Amino acid sequence: MIRPKTPKPSKADETDAYELATLRDNDTCQRCRRGCGPSNRDHRKNRSQGGHTIVSNLQILGGTGTTGCHGYITQHPAEGMAEGWTVPSFAIPAEWPARRWIRTEHGVLRLGWVLYDDAGGITEITEADRLVRMGLVQDMTEAAF
């Protein structure tokens, strides 16, 4: 699918986006939440594939290009994509499901699927919505299992 290119954000907007994403993710690795390495403000869609420094395209992962969760995802791109840590080049980050730990009303952490917006917001989505958005099923009817 061909989509219009979005304008690149200014340096000041990028600084704000990094700060909002760091706050949203509590400066904690969203994959393991266990301090697997120094916080890395990861671009979900790589900059080399047109991913901008906007809040919806950022997530905190621990480690570097070769260590921690960030390193793992870099070295296992197919797994990173399937698990929701990476946005494919054709997709818009705000519309592509992200994996994330969510705290329930009982205070328990569980892994869920969300959409990120560019203001630092998080919207949880259903498994069916996730499958449709990722092109793994045709529509919600097929996803209603």
Query: 10 Å Cβ neighbour count for 64?
Result: 13
Stretch that binds Zn ion, among 24-32, 110-118, 121-129, 136-144 (CB under 5 A): 24-32
CB of 34 to Zn ion, least distance (A): 6
d(CA 126, CA 113): 7
Tokens representing residue 85 in the block: 């840590």
β-strands 122-125, 109-116 pairing:
antiparallel
Q: Does 80 bind Zn ion (CB under 5 A)?
A: no
Nearer to Zn ion, 37 or 120 (CB): 37
Piece in contact with Zn ion (CB under 5 A), picked from 22-30, 39-47, 122-130, 133-141: 22-30
Burial of 48 (0-12, 13-18, 19+ CB in 10 A): exposed
Q: Does 62 participate in binding Zn ion (rule CB under 5 A)?
A: yes
Q: With CB under 5 A, what is the number of residues at the site for Zn ion?
A: 6
- Is position 69 an interface residue for Zn ion (rule: CB under 5 A)? yes
Write out the H or E segment, with its range, that includes residue 99.
strand 98-103
Residue 31 interacts with Zn ion (CB under 5 A)?
Answer: yes
Question: Which among 61-69, 78-86, 96-104, 122-130 is the span making contact with Zn ion, rule CB under 5 A?
Answer: 61-69
Q: Is 36 in the site for Zn ion (CB under 5 A)?
A: yes
Tell me which residues touch Zn ion (CB under 5 A).
29, 31-32, 36, 62, 69
